[in-house]
Structure 1
Protein backbone atom coordinates (compact mmCIF):
# COMPACT_ATOMS: atom_id res chain seq x y z
CA UNK A 1 0.00 0.00 0.00
CA UNK A 2 2.99 2.29 0.63
CA UNK A 3 5.65 0.96 -1.78
CA UNK A 4 8.04 3.91 -1.43
CA UNK A 5 8.08 3.74 2.37
CA UNK A 6 8.49 -0.02 2.24
CA UNK A 7 11.40 0.53 -0.14
CA UNK A 8 13.05 2.63 2.58
CA UNK A 9 12.81 -0.30 4.98
CA UNK A 10 9.75 0.91 6.88
CA UNK A 11 7.72 -2.27 7.30
CA UNK A 12 4.92 -0.82 9.44
CA UNK A 13 4.03 2.62 8.04
CA UNK A 14 1.07 2.89 10.44
CA UNK A 15 3.60 3.48 13.26
CA UNK A 16 4.69 6.79 11.67
CA UNK A 17 3.62 9.78 13.74
CA UNK A 18 5.11 12.69 11.80
CA UNK A 19 8.01 13.76 9.61
CA UNK A 20 10.20 16.75 8.99
CA UNK A 21 11.99 17.89 5.87
CA UNK A 22 14.87 20.33 5.66
CA UNK A 23 17.56 21.28 3.18
CA UNK A 24 21.28 20.96 3.91
CA UNK A 25 23.63 22.19 1.20
CA UNK A 26 22.71 20.15 -1.90
CA UNK A 27 20.67 17.53 -0.04
CA UNK A 28 17.16 17.27 1.35
CA UNK A 29 17.03 15.58 4.75
CA UNK A 30 13.86 13.65 5.57
CA UNK A 31 13.39 12.59 9.19
CA UNK A 32 10.54 10.23 10.02
CA UNK A 33 9.34 9.97 13.62
CA UNK A 34 7.49 6.92 14.92
CA UNK A 35 4.97 6.71 17.75
CA UNK A 36 6.71 6.39 21.09
CA UNK A 37 6.64 2.83 22.42
CA UNK A 38 6.00 2.02 26.03
CA UNK A 39 9.12 2.53 28.13
CA UNK A 40 10.92 4.71 25.58
CA UNK A 41 12.10 8.14 26.64
CA UNK A 42 12.12 9.47 23.09
CA UNK A 43 10.28 8.31 20.01
CA UNK A 44 12.35 6.39 17.48
CA UNK A 45 13.23 8.20 14.28
CA UNK A 46 15.08 7.50 11.04
CA UNK A 47 16.84 9.94 8.73
CA UNK A 48 17.23 9.80 4.96
CA UNK A 49 19.27 12.12 2.74
CA UNK A 50 18.32 12.76 -0.87
CA UNK A 51 20.59 14.64 -3.28
CA UNK A 52 18.85 17.56 -4.95
CA UNK A 53 18.43 17.37 -8.72
CA UNK A 54 20.45 19.98 -10.59
CA UNK A 55 19.00 21.62 -13.69
CA UNK A 56 20.22 24.38 -15.99
CA UNK A 57 17.49 26.93 -16.69
CA UNK A 58 17.73 29.66 -19.29
CA UNK A 59 17.79 33.05 -17.56
CA UNK A 60 17.37 35.28 -20.57
CA UNK A 61 16.28 34.00 -23.96
CA UNK A 62 18.09 36.73 -25.88
CA UNK A 63 21.48 36.30 -24.18
CA UNK A 64 21.40 32.52 -23.90
CA UNK A 65 22.59 32.61 -20.29
CA UNK A 66 21.80 29.66 -18.07
CA UNK A 67 21.49 29.43 -14.32
CA UNK A 68 21.98 26.27 -12.30
CA UNK A 69 18.99 25.54 -10.02
CA UNK A 70 18.24 22.62 -7.75
CA UNK A 71 14.93 20.95 -7.03
CA UNK A 72 13.59 18.17 -4.86
CA UNK A 73 14.36 14.58 -5.85
CA UNK A 74 11.43 12.83 -7.58
CA UNK A 75 11.69 9.79 -5.29
CA UNK A 76 11.44 12.07 -2.27
CA UNK A 77 8.23 13.63 -3.59
CA UNK A 78 6.71 10.14 -3.87
CA UNK A 79 7.73 9.33 -0.28
CA UNK A 80 6.29 12.65 0.96
CA UNK A 81 2.98 11.92 -0.80
CA UNK A 82 2.74 8.63 1.10
CA UNK A 83 3.75 10.32 4.37
CA UNK A 84 1.06 12.96 3.88
CA UNK A 85 -1.56 10.23 3.49
CA UNK A 86 -0.41 8.65 6.74
CA UNK A 87 0.10 11.74 8.87
CA UNK A 88 -2.57 14.04 7.42
CA UNK A 89 -0.54 17.17 8.18
CA UNK A 90 -2.45 20.21 9.34
CA UNK A 91 -1.88 23.39 7.41
CA UNK A 92 0.26 25.46 9.72
CA UNK A 93 -0.11 29.20 9.82
CA UNK A 94 3.05 31.24 10.08
CA UNK A 95 5.02 29.85 12.97
CA UNK A 96 6.56 32.18 15.47
CA UNK A 97 10.23 31.78 14.55
CA UNK A 98 11.47 32.65 18.03
CA UNK A 99 9.17 30.06 19.62
CA UNK A 100 10.24 27.42 17.11
CA UNK A 101 13.91 28.07 17.83
CA UNK A 102 13.28 27.84 21.58
CA UNK A 103 11.34 24.59 21.15
CA UNK A 104 14.13 23.13 19.01
CA UNK A 105 16.70 24.22 21.58
CA UNK A 106 14.79 22.56 24.46
CA UNK A 107 14.49 19.36 22.45
CA UNK A 108 18.22 19.40 21.71
CA UNK A 109 18.95 19.86 25.41
CA UNK A 110 16.84 16.78 26.25
CA UNK A 111 18.53 14.69 23.57
CA UNK A 112 22.04 15.71 24.68
CA UNK A 113 21.21 15.13 28.36
CA UNK A 114 19.83 11.70 27.57
CA UNK A 115 22.91 10.78 25.52
CA UNK A 116 25.26 11.98 28.29
CA UNK A 117 23.36 9.86 30.83
CA UNK A 118 23.58 6.86 28.51
CA UNK A 119 27.35 7.29 28.07
CA UNK A 120 27.86 7.75 31.82
CA UNK A 121 25.88 4.56 32.47
CA UNK A 122 28.11 2.71 29.99
CA UNK A 123 31.18 4.06 31.79
CA UNK A 124 29.85 2.83 35.14
CA UNK A 125 29.49 -0.66 33.66
CA UNK A 126 33.20 -0.63 32.80
CA UNK A 127 34.28 -0.06 36.43
Structure 2
Protein backbone atom coordinates (compact mmCIF):
# COMPACT_ATOMS: atom_id res chain seq x y z
CA UNK A 1 0.00 0.00 0.00
CA UNK A 2 2.99 2.28 0.59
CA UNK A 3 5.56 1.21 -2.03
CA UNK A 4 7.90 4.17 -1.56
CA UNK A 5 8.12 3.69 2.22
CA UNK A 6 8.57 -0.04 1.76
CA UNK A 7 11.38 0.77 -0.68
CA UNK A 8 13.12 2.67 2.13
CA UNK A 9 13.03 -0.46 4.28
CA UNK A 10 10.09 0.53 6.47
CA UNK A 11 8.26 -2.74 6.99
CA UNK A 12 5.38 -1.45 9.13
CA UNK A 13 4.32 2.03 8.02
CA UNK A 14 1.45 2.06 10.53
CA UNK A 15 4.06 2.50 13.31
CA UNK A 16 5.03 5.93 11.93
CA UNK A 17 4.02 8.74 14.28
CA UNK A 18 5.38 11.82 12.51
CA UNK A 19 8.15 13.11 10.30
CA UNK A 20 10.29 16.19 9.82
CA UNK A 21 11.91 17.62 6.72
CA UNK A 22 14.76 20.11 6.60
CA UNK A 23 17.32 21.30 4.10
CA UNK A 24 21.08 21.04 4.63
CA UNK A 25 23.25 22.54 1.89
CA UNK A 26 22.23 20.71 -1.29
CA UNK A 27 20.35 17.90 0.46
CA UNK A 28 16.91 17.44 1.96
CA UNK A 29 16.93 15.48 5.23
CA UNK A 30 13.84 13.44 6.03
CA UNK A 31 13.53 12.06 9.56
CA UNK A 32 10.76 9.59 10.32
CA UNK A 33 9.72 9.03 13.94
CA UNK A 34 7.97 5.85 15.07
CA UNK A 35 5.55 5.33 17.96
CA UNK A 36 7.34 4.57 21.21
CA UNK A 37 7.17 0.90 22.08
CA UNK A 38 6.55 -0.39 25.58
CA UNK A 39 9.75 -0.36 27.61
CA UNK A 40 11.58 2.08 25.34
CA UNK A 41 12.87 5.31 26.80
CA UNK A 42 12.85 7.08 23.45
CA UNK A 43 10.96 6.46 20.26
CA UNK A 44 12.96 5.14 17.31
CA UNK A 45 13.65 7.25 14.26
CA UNK A 46 15.37 6.87 10.92
CA UNK A 47 17.00 9.53 8.76
CA UNK A 48 17.25 9.71 4.98
CA UNK A 49 19.16 12.22 2.86
CA UNK A 50 18.04 13.14 -0.64
CA UNK A 51 20.19 15.25 -2.96
CA UNK A 52 18.37 18.25 -4.38
CA UNK A 53 17.91 18.27 -8.14
CA UNK A 54 19.76 21.04 -9.99
CA UNK A 55 18.10 22.79 -12.91
CA UNK A 56 19.13 25.59 -15.21
CA UNK A 57 16.28 27.99 -15.91
CA UNK A 58 16.21 31.10 -18.03
CA UNK A 59 16.72 34.19 -15.92
CA UNK A 60 13.89 35.98 -17.71
CA UNK A 61 12.11 35.47 -21.00
CA UNK A 62 14.01 38.12 -22.95
CA UNK A 63 17.60 37.33 -21.96
CA UNK A 64 19.88 34.45 -22.82
CA UNK A 65 21.20 34.09 -19.25
CA UNK A 66 20.42 31.09 -17.13
CA UNK A 67 20.52 30.62 -13.40
CA UNK A 68 20.88 27.42 -11.45
CA UNK A 69 18.06 26.50 -9.07
CA UNK A 70 17.47 23.48 -6.88
CA UNK A 71 14.26 21.63 -6.23
CA UNK A 72 13.07 18.73 -4.13
CA UNK A 73 13.86 15.22 -5.36
CA UNK A 74 10.88 13.54 -7.06
CA UNK A 75 11.30 10.35 -4.99
CA UNK A 76 11.14 12.43 -1.82
CA UNK A 77 7.85 14.02 -2.88
CA UNK A 78 6.37 10.55 -3.38
CA UNK A 79 7.55 9.47 0.09
CA UNK A 80 6.12 12.65 1.65
CA UNK A 81 2.77 12.01 -0.03
CA UNK A 82 2.65 8.56 1.59
CA UNK A 83 3.74 9.97 4.96
CA UNK A 84 0.98 12.57 4.79
CA UNK A 85 -1.57 9.78 4.29
CA UNK A 86 -0.29 8.04 7.42
CA UNK A 87 0.33 10.99 9.73
CA UNK A 88 -2.50 13.29 8.58
CA UNK A 89 -0.57 16.47 9.39
CA UNK A 90 -2.52 19.37 10.82
CA UNK A 91 -1.76 23.04 10.51
CA UNK A 92 0.12 24.46 13.47
CA UNK A 93 -0.87 27.49 15.42
CA UNK A 94 1.53 29.63 17.38
CA UNK A 95 0.78 27.80 20.63
CA UNK A 96 1.32 24.43 18.92
CA UNK A 97 4.73 25.61 17.75
CA UNK A 98 5.62 26.79 21.26
CA UNK A 99 4.59 23.39 22.68
CA UNK A 100 6.65 21.59 20.04
CA UNK A 101 9.72 23.68 20.88
CA UNK A 102 9.30 23.00 24.60
CA UNK A 103 8.81 19.30 23.90
CA UNK A 104 11.93 19.22 21.71
CA UNK A 105 13.94 20.95 24.43
CA UNK A 106 12.82 18.45 27.06
CA UNK A 107 13.65 15.56 24.72
CA UNK A 108 17.09 17.03 24.02
CA UNK A 109 17.71 17.43 27.74
CA UNK A 110 16.89 13.75 28.34
CA UNK A 111 19.15 12.63 25.48
CA UNK A 112 22.07 14.73 26.73
CA UNK A 113 21.59 13.56 30.32
CA UNK A 114 21.59 9.91 29.24
CA UNK A 115 24.66 10.40 27.07
CA UNK A 116 26.56 12.11 29.91
CA UNK A 117 25.67 9.24 32.24
CA UNK A 118 26.87 6.75 29.63
CA UNK A 119 30.20 8.56 29.19
CA UNK A 120 30.69 8.84 32.97
CA UNK A 121 30.04 5.10 33.30
CA UNK A 122 32.65 4.42 30.61
CA UNK A 123 35.12 6.64 32.49
CA UNK A 124 34.47 4.71 35.72
CA UNK A 125 35.34 1.47 33.92
CA UNK A 126 38.74 2.92 33.02
CA UNK A 127 39.69 3.62 36.67
Q: For the superposition of Structure 1 and Structure 2, which TM-score range results when normalised by the shorter chain?
A: 0.7 to 0.9
Task: Answer with 116-125 or 85-94: which moved more.
Answer: 116-125
Q: CA deviation at 1:122?
A: 4.6
- Normalising to structure 1: TM-score of the pair? 0.86
Helix, strand or coil at the partner of 1:20: strand
CA distance in 2, matches of 1:116, 1:12: 33
Distance verdict in 2 for CA 1:93–1:108, change over 3 Å: same
Helix, strand or coil at the partner of 1:50: strand
CA RMSD of aligned residues (A): 2.2
Q: CA deviation at 1:125?
A: 5.7
CA distance in 1, matches of 2:95, 2:49: 25
Q: CA deviation at 1:65?
A: 1.1
- Normalising to structure 2: TM-score of the pair? 0.86
Helix, strand or coil at the partner of 1:60: coil
- The equivalent residue for 2:12 is 12
User: Aligned residues, how many?
Assistant: 127
Specify every segment of 5 or more residues in structure 1 that has no aligned partner in the other structure, as ranges.
Answer: none
1:7-50 Cα distance to aligned partner (Å, 9 max, x none) = 10100101000000000110000000000011111100000000
Specify every segment of 5 or more residues in structure 2 that has no aligned partner in the other structure, as ranges.
Answer: none
- The equivalent residue for 2:120 is 120
Task: Answer with 49-58 or 110-119: which moved more.
Answer: 110-119
CA distance in 2, matches of 1:37, 1:100: 21
